[in-house]
Amino acid sequence: MNILVTGGTGYIGSHTSLRLIEAGHRPVLLDNLCNSSATVLDRIATLTGTRPTFIQGDIRDRPLLDRVLREEKIEAVIHFAALKAVGESVEHPLAYYDNNVGGTLVLLAAMQAAGVRTLVFSSSATVYGAAQQMPLREDAPLSATSPYGHSKLMIEQMLSDMAAADPRWSFTSLRYFNPVGAHESGLIGEAPQGIPNNLMPYIAQVAVGRRAALRVFGNTYPTPDGTGVRDYIHVLDLADGHLAALDHGHGRPGLQVFNLGSGQGHSVLEVLGAFSRACGRDLPCEIHPPRPGDVASSWADPTRAQAVLGWRARRSLDQMCADTWRWQSTYPQGYDA
């Protein structure tokens, strides 16, 4: 199929686009490059032998979307384009509602006008808020603790309302947990701008000397070693989840929701230890007070994705760290190297 991938040069979008090419699809990547690099297109071409079609633009640009959907004969959309830093969303909520919610609204209107009615949406485990009962299932109560989380919840509500109004729509919302890792070649990976907001890229920058030490926020949680526990999933497993969702959802009416996670929690110190093994030396850390709003533990129940999509996370924490280190040590400055 011809598949529009919004946010296609980003971390998850680029790995998913690579997998789409390998599966015989034709991805058309749309990205405004606000948090990514067009260099990834050359890397995808090196790995697959095919340079994906790329259009630099914004999902809020309705005339552009109309043209792309028509001229590229798009049959389905995988929607990654979003601002995604929780802390930044608290400081700049309007930017998050404008880009994430407003952009999705424009995208859906353009799809409706073009008769394209299959969408796989990049949602997030943040829609579960500060849930206490683990593991998290898709029918758990929904809430949010940040504008970023609220934006994902609002979009899921939009999809639910549209599916109820018109049975021709096929929506799949993928709530994923903590994507980490990189392609095993070391050619593409995560390259956050500024100070990383997430654990794994921060540790990777400590390992290459860009940061002095890992800052561990809280070591008195009710967890085995006192540090926060999260569900980490390899980005290639995540990419495969999007392909499975596309294959299952295309032409199937309604909204379906799936958790994409490993179903296993790892603490901050466990991840630090695994990365130390990957890079061959002990990495320093500093203990800081817990951050407001952080929960002690969060991990997925991925049973539904396994049963319905035939998908499961297959790569271990050690492999996640080894692949991240291969990417980061080869390209210490990311795509700007």
Is residue 335 annotated as a catalytic residue, yes or no? no
Alpha-helical regions (H) of the chain: 11-22, 39-48, 62-71, 86-91, 93-96, 103-114, 147-165, 199-207, 235-249, 268-279, 303-304, 317-330
Catalytic residue, from 96, 148, 176, 232: name it: 148
Nearest alpha-carbon partner for 301 in 244, 240, 242, 260: 260
The partner residues of 119 in beta bridges, in order of sequence, read 77, 171
In our burial notation (b when 16+ CB lie closer than 10 A, e otherwise), range 291-325 reads eeeebbbbbbbbebbeeebebbbebebebbbbbbb
The partner residues of 30 in beta bridges, in order of sequence, read 6, 55
3-state secondary structure of 34: coil
| Catalytic residue ranges | 148
